Amino acid sequence: MVGYKNYENTRLHIKNKIVNVDQYNGHTHERKQLLDILKRTTDSGESNSALLIGPPGVGKTTLVNSILKELQEDKKFNSSAVLVRLHGLIHTDDRLALKAITSRMNLDNAINGKVFGSFAENLSFLLACLQTGQRETSKSVLFILEEFDLFCSHHNQTLLYNLFDVSQSAQTPICVIGITHRLDVIELFEKRVKSRFSHRQIFLFSTHGDDIAIPSINQRIDRISNFLLLTNNNDFSSTYFAQWNKNIKQLMKDKKFICSMQRLLDISENEEITKNIMMLAVSKLNVEKPKISADDIEDELNIFEKDDLVQTVQDLSVLELCLLIAMKHHSEIYDLQPFNFEMILTRYNKFINANSNVQNVQRSVVLKAFEHIQNVELIAPTGTVMSRLQKEYQLFKLLITSQQITEAIKTMNGLPTEVIQWAGSSLA
Amino acid sequence: MDSLVNQLKMNFPGRTYQIERLFSLFGYKNEPFVSSVFIYGPSSTGKSAVVGSLLDGLEIRNACVNLVECYSSKVLFESILNQLSGHKIDPFKGHPYAKCDNVMDFIFNLRKCADEVDLNKSVIVLDKAERLRNMDYNLLPAFLKLKELSGLSVSVIFISEIIFEKYYFKARTLEPIKIHFSQYTREELWEILRLDFDHVQNFIRNNFNENFDINEEFFSNYLNLFLSVFYRVCRDLSELRHMSKLNFVKYCEPVFKKECKLEDSMGLWRHIAPILKASLEVLYLRISPVSQEGKQQSVEIKCDGARTVKQFTFSKESLAQFLELPFYAKYLLIAAYLASYNPPKEDKRLFMKYHGKKTKRMKDVKAKNIVSEQLNTQLGPKPFGFERLVAIFYAILEEKVDFNSNLLVQISTLVELQLLSMVSDNCDLDSRKYKCCVSFEFIQIISKTVDFNITKYLVDFN
Amino acid sequence: MSDTTVSVSKGVFVFKNGGTSQHKRVRKPQPDGEDSCNIFSNKLWYQSYNRNWKILEKKLKTLNSNMFSSILSSLVESIKHSHNTPVTEIPTATLLTGINMPDHSALFSTLSREIRKNVTPHVATLHAEDSQNLKYVIESTVNQFVNQTLEDDSDMEDCENEDNKKSKVRKSSCTFSLLQAWYEKLYGPPGLRIFFPVKRKMRDGHKLLVVIFPDFESFNDKIIQDFILIVSSYLNKLPFVLVFGVATSVSAVHKSLPYHVSSKISVQIFNSQPSTTYLNNVIENIFFTDDCPFHLGGKVFNLFTDIFLFYDLSVKGFIKNFKFAMLEHFSFGNSMALCTNSRNLKKALEQLTHEDLERIQELPSVKKFIINPSPEKKSKFADDDYFKNLMYEKFQEFYAYLNSFHLFLKCLYVLVSDLPKSPLGKQIRELYSTATSKNITKTSEFEECFKLISFQSKDELYEKISKVCKILEKEIENNKMNKNVTEEFSERLINYIERIENATTVISESPLKPQETEENLVIGKMDRRQLKEKLLEMSKKSKLMNEYEKIRLELIEYLKKTFEQYLQEPSSRSFHEIFFFNDMSIKKQIIGSHRAAIHAALNDPQYYLQCNCCKLQNEATILPSMPDVSILYKLHLEYGKLINLYDWLQSFLSIVDPDDNNEEVGKRVVKPELQARFTQAVADLEYLGFIKSSKRKTDFVVRLTWGG
């Protein structure tokens, strides 16, 4: 039964690694840059502001987390600095943000009862509260703003304005770090905000900043191997441990595996996806399946690559499919003009009358089928939906390409032949 | 653990893949869960059912919310918290576990809740997740990465009939793990419907004759016949289940009446085939027979009669025949239909006794061979003015009636009944614009009742 | 004056809110409380009018309730049983109410009361007009469930909840989760969540939750769809039942519910009876009874039925019209107080003054009656008492006549209604209208009918006659008036029946004998003309007639004769004006032509105001004494599409105070109060929809109509 335990542990071990990845490798240069900025604020009380920009899933947040972890390790950080983390998805307007800041600085009691004329006053008061005499001793504040671009959409960017403003003026030492995946985020700033921002941007790309020489595929692969390799061997039988790592190493060299990884990389650089796929592959481990093979990875990849739209089409009934084909024909004939139910119905009826062995159904039933197609959003109403107008005449546009439809029909089994032929024939 | 999986596999035929996948993600207590899973597939393919029974079976603390009923994010947050915290609502006060109006409050309270009860490895299930797209912009992404935001190991399962592609514009480039619940194949459907056997048998025993016993295989034969008719038109399980139950009673009738033996499948088929065809017409319309208990009461007889009409000879007539309109209202409706489906320039030719000779011009010839998509009856009703309506009304009405308030009242009545709809309601009394909102079949029946040949007056038909 | 307001108001109502509601707007009957302060309340005619109307009203009420119950009982039954078998869809009852049920609100309030009584205390009703968004719908539904039963079940709640019951649940916190909690508190928790398929039979004692949508069409589709989806998601925990009130047809439901929603419900359809049959009920059971002394003459009756059939299938409207006619009739004067049943007749007579009697003598039929007798008698009519006594007798006759009229009309109806393409009409109301307008027995249709009858086979005829006999029996046992006639008639018929029964259809050898005897019997009651024609056709008849045919012949003869005797048109009787109202002049009030009315009102106010200050010589003239609105109206008739306010004002001023017209128009100061009056009047016209301020040109208004 020890073997069973091993799989359990492996799963647990690797899953843990994937889910809460903390140690960060790569991007050493950017990391150092950011770290310095923060340190200067905490230690020598310089105010500052910077943006951390990089495509989604490249590990911006992870980077910042690891840095903060490092900072918090030394004792005097908590005494010298206050860390305020804001998130664009949580703090959807400045009022909330301010509330969060207040509570984070645990100044609630200080603030209660006071009424402030403006946002600025309020913020400055908060900061003032932190000031205790001279520059050195006063606490510095680190603002980490995730999903930074969302803050730009707040009502005339008051929060950003004030933060940057403070960071410019020599009041309380604060450091504002914005994290976003939008490269054009600067463009979102209002003029007054832009002028106050120290145009310090740190770009994070999935290729190594410092040496482009290493192609990113290897880098990706060694990150994966990082996930999959077992590190601490104390809760595995040593033989199993060695054996597992050995065949992971093999896997990493496996041609098939490498090219599938390349495929994935070509689709998207987002590391989350890789993680997900690994996750699924690992979750499959059990007594019957002791090890991960290149095929598993590839299967997962195939599943991931599947075109959902095609799947949706294949889930339709024959009737609904016929309607879809009718729409396809319609939009081929009148190049992508919108259509309404009546048109499709006549087209469909033509087909029905043409070949007798397809049983005919009530108009109302066809209408319901049509509605179902609309319901799974294969078609969408064009313009405004007038509730007054009868459904039959509401104009729709097709949200799926005819290629996808043909694709779906090809791989769909149990279709009556005449339907397939009809789908093939463009003139109908 | 595995026993549970097998149990589920038995309950949900054709869902093996999905069950195993879900189990591999959530099956093991000590292992971390993924932050979010997106489950999608057509309606009634057991999405909610599988997820729900899996989570319950694994005794994972969970909160299931149907987003349809969340007309505000407040409701959503509060019901999640209520369920996670196991908060019982006092029906006389109706206070939720905590008040939260926005994501910030929600996460705050979630953390608070985590101190009281162990939320570690708990799951939030959001059913009808497509609704999230129409709610606040930050909800969908927030739930997608709730784990990261809240710092709690709470994972979220989205259940939706819409594929994830349609979420991108709100999802801020987050990719959850996706599990597809594919539509059942015919065999699977057959399997599942067979599970109803006992239920159906009891149903018949309770309502028709007690000592009626059929064996499994009689039922599954029936299902084969049934599917052979219905499968092409409909793959929706709930619909098929509904119809199969209705028709099975009919299928058995000859046996009750001792006309057929149970074995005589041929005779039974001959009996059921037309009925199935007929009931194919009421598919999706859900006109159910009057409840059997009701039948015993004499009062039921009337609407029972109505039932048989609706149930099996269900046709357009029966739809329209229930609408009784005053004589002139009918004519007004017809006039309205003509007005919205004929171009005004044709009126002279159509409605005047002595319109001059219609000279055949080139464009008429062209007009002859316009493709069906350009027919007026296909493009829907056009708005028409009040005078035009009245003019046509008098043109098609033989006898002369004086134009009085009661006529006008009829027009507004028709509008109230949504047979007409007012397009522009400016306060100008004389230039109101209306549209006719009835289908061609409908108007045909109406005009039949006042024996008026409508096709004669429609441009599309001559 | 009453009538004019009616027509005018109608004109307005057409545009304010159309359709069915209009009929409810015609003047309500005075509730009893107000009778005292009613100006007519002390008038004799009004009292008797009121008495009669009260009777009718009571009967109408009972009729309505009966009619409802027949529909509702079946509906309630099915609701009761809806959850007995496990359900996978929401049981949904669709009640097709037809476009003009007497009135919907009453129907549905009765329905919910019925359900409360028989099925469950938990009923919620949602009205379209105040269900704008889903939030509101859910809140009000839950609120109705929770809070209402907090009051109802106060006894079954244990005392520690007492204080809670006072504090109702706040609307904002009314969510379905609350509802669920509440339901579980009442009936204990449901079985644990069972999936696939949801087949939980509702345990006994678990009361249903019924939600009623009285006006389905006017609901917003989206909202209903969402609501149904929600309900279906709770169906395995809460036993819901929906009731849709649909005016048009089932297709309306399918129109507004797409596939994914309609698959959540299973619809049952209930038809309320069509309003034509309802009308027939009303007419036969209420108006065609001799305890309603007031009768509609043929013409008016036709008018009303036409309005019903052609314009609005509104029974309520019909009743209103009837009432109006009645009021019109009585308001003729105290003499009409005589239009009452025989009990109160004497009292009424006593109260009449000399003038009243004279007015009666003015009545055409009475005149005729007076002219006829010998001149020396004529003087007697001046004497009130004599005249009163005479009238008393006459009225007794008239009552007898009315009674027999109704009776025989019914009999005739039975005989002719089901004849091939029924010449006299299928409905009794059609017979009535012909019979009241002219002598029905003289009509060609009548002849035709009896020709047809004379071809009918033995058992057909037998059956018919026996039907007639039944009617007669009923009449005899519960009506003493002119018993002898009825009895005699029925005896004869019965004896005919017997003879028909045992008559053979084979040719009898000696046809002559029995016929002779019958002959004498008949001749006794025949004047010479009839005898002659009888003999004539007998000679025509082939000697070879079987027994049955002979009997049939006789019978028909007899029937014809009796009908001729009793079915004379009312106008042939003297004093008929008292009981029959046949004045077509009310048409213009019943069918209001609103524009004309408004036009008349504004163009010639004197027509309504009856003031002698503004009598018009010709249409065009405008007098300063007229109300401002009508002055402006008449002025604006002269303008084009656009009206310059300033010019308008000037011409207005030139009319209302012509005195300072001498100085030229340009720089005269406008008196503020005049300007105020002007603006007021303009506002009124705008309100009436004749003009509206134009966007295109400043200080211009657009004219919206081209004259009345």
Whether residues B56 and C275 touch (CB distance < 8 A) is answered with no
Mutation to test the C interface, candidates B15, B64, B71, most C Cβ within 10 Å:
B71
Choose which CATH entry (3.30.479.30, 1.10.150.120, 3.40.50.11900, 3.40.50.300) describes domain C81-155+164-273.
Answer: 3.40.50.300
Three-state SS at B460: helix
Q: Chain B partners of A279 at a C-beta cutoff of 8 Å?
A: 25, 34, 177
Q: What is the pLDDT of residue B365?
A: 55
DSSP percent split of chain C into helix, strand, coil, nearest 5: 60, 5, 30
Q: What is the pLDDT of residue C346?
A: 79
Domain-by-domain residue ranges, chain B?
2-180, 186-319, 323-457
Picking from C74, C178, C309, the nearest residue to B303 by CB comes out as: C74
Q: What is the pLDDT of residue B308?
A: 38
Residue span(s) of chain C under CATH 3.40.50.300 come to: 81-155+164-273
Residue span(s) of chain C under CATH 1.10.10 come to: 594-703
Q: What is the pLDDT of residue B143?
A: 92
The residue of chain B with its CA nearest to that of A331 is B373
Cβ of residue A371 closer than 8 Å to a chain C Cβ: yes
Q: How far is CA C383 from CA C319, C352, C356, C358, C362, in A?
A: 40, 13, 13, 10, 15
pTM, rounded to two decimals:
0.79
- Mean pLDDT throughout A354-373? 82
Q: What is the pLDDT of residue A51?
A: 92
Picking from C197, C229, C251, the nearest residue to B241 by CB comes out as: C197
Three-state SS at C395: helix
Interface of A with C in 338-367 (CB under 8 A): 364
Picking from A181, A358, A377, the nearest residue to B173 by CB comes out as: A181
B355 pLDDT band (50/70/90 cuts)? Answer: low
SS3 labels along chain A: CHHHHHHHHHHHHHHHHHHCCCCCCCCHHHHHHHHHHHHHHHHHCCCEEEEEECCCCCCHHHHHHHHHHHHHHCCHHHHHEEEEEEECCCCCCHHHHHHHHHHHCCCHHHHCCCCCCCHHHHHHHHHHHHCCCCCCCCCEEEEEEECHHHHHCCHHHHHHHHHHHHHHCCCCCEEEEEEECCCCHHHHCCHHHHHHCCCCEEECCCCCCCCCCCCHHHHHHHHHHHHHCCCCCCCCCHHHHHHHHHHHHHHHHCHHHHHHHHHHHHHCCCHHHHHHHHHHHHHCCECCECCCCHHHHHHHHHHHHCCHHHHHHHCCCHHHHHHHHHHHHHHHHCCCCCECHHHHHHHHHHHHHHCCCCCCCCHHHHHHHHHHHHHCCCEEECCCCCCCCCHHHCCEEECCCHHHHHHHHHHCCCCCHHHHHHHHCCCC
Q: What is the pLDDT of residue C686?
A: 87
- Mean pLDDT throughout A411-425? 86
Cβ of residue C258 closer than 8 Å to a chain B Cβ: no
State the smallest CA–CA distance between residue A343 and chain B in angstroms. 6
Cβ of residue A317 closer than 8 Å to a chain C Cβ: no
Q: Chain C partners of A390 at a C-beta cutoff of 8 Å?
A: 255
Q: Give the pLDDT confidence of A59-76 residue by residue, as tens digits.
A: 888 888 888 888 888 877
Q: What is the pLDDT of residue A321?
A: 92
Q: What is the pLDDT of residue C129?
A: 79
Q: What is the pLDDT of residue B156?
A: 94
Interface of B with C in 397-456 (CB under 8 A): 401-413, 415-419, 427-430, 442
Shortest CA distance to B28 belongs to which of B56, B60, B53?
B60
Whether residues C254 and A364 touch (CB distance < 8 A) is answered with yes
- In CATH, the architecture of B2-180 is 3-Layer(aba) Sandwich (3.40)
State the smallest CA–CA distance between residue B21 and chain A in angstroms. 8
What percent of chain B has pLDDT above 90?
Answer: 18
Whether residues C255 and A390 touch (CB distance < 8 A) is answered with yes
Q: What is the pLDDT of residue C61?
A: 83
State the smallest CA–CA distance between residue B425 and chain C in angstroms. 11
Q: What is the pLDDT of residue A328?
A: 92
Q: What is the pLDDT of residue B313?
A: 37
Q: Give the pLDDT confidence of B81-137 residue by residue, as tens digits.
A: 999 988 887 777 777 888 888 899 999 999 999 988 888 889 999 999 999 988 888
Give CA–CA dist B447/B441, Å, rounded: 10
Cβ of residue C220 closer than 8 Å to a chain A Cβ: yes
- Mean pLDDT throughout A354-362? 75
Q: What is the pLDDT of residue A179?
A: 92
Cβ of residue B365 closer than 8 Å to a chain C Cβ: no
Provide CATH code, domain C594-703. Answer: 1.10.10
Mutation to test the A interface, candidates B1, B20, B22, B24, most A Cβ within 10 Å:
B24
B264 pLDDT band (50/70/90 cuts)? Answer: confident
Residue A29 has pLDDT above 90, yes or no: no
Q: Give the pLDDT confidence of B26-55 residue by residue, as tens digits.
A: 988 888 888 899 999 998 898 999 999 999
Residue B429 has pLDDT above 90, yes or no: no
Chains touching B (at least 3 CB pairs under 8 A) are A, C
Q: Chain C partners of B326 at a C-beta cutoff of 8 Å?
A: 309-313
Three-state SS at B456: helix
Segment holding C161, helix H or strand E: none
Q: Give the pLDDT confidence of B186-231 residue by residue, as tens digits.
A: 999 999 998 888 888 887 787 766 666 778 888 888 899 899 888 8
- Mean pLDDT throughout B139-168? 90
Cβ of residue C248 closer than 8 Å to a chain A Cβ: no
Picking from C221, C254, C258, the nearest residue to A375 by CB comes out as: C258
A215 pLDDT band (50/70/90 cuts)? Answer: low
Q: Chain A partners of C262 at a C-beta cutoff of 8 Å?
A: 368
Q: What is the pLDDT of residue C277?
A: 80
Residue spans of chain C under pLDDT 70:
1-39, 85-86, 99-103, 149-168, 189-205, 290-291, 372-380, 479-481, 505-529, 531, 535-545, 659-668, 706-708
b/e per residue, C632-661, with b = 16+ CB within 10 A? bbbbbbeeeeebebeebbbbbbebbeeeee
Q: Would you say C18 and B416 are in contact if contact means Cβ atoms under 8 Å apart? A: yes
Cβ of residue C132 closer than 8 Å to a chain A Cβ: no
Rg, Å, chain C Cα set: 35
Residue B304 has pLDDT above 60, yes or no: no
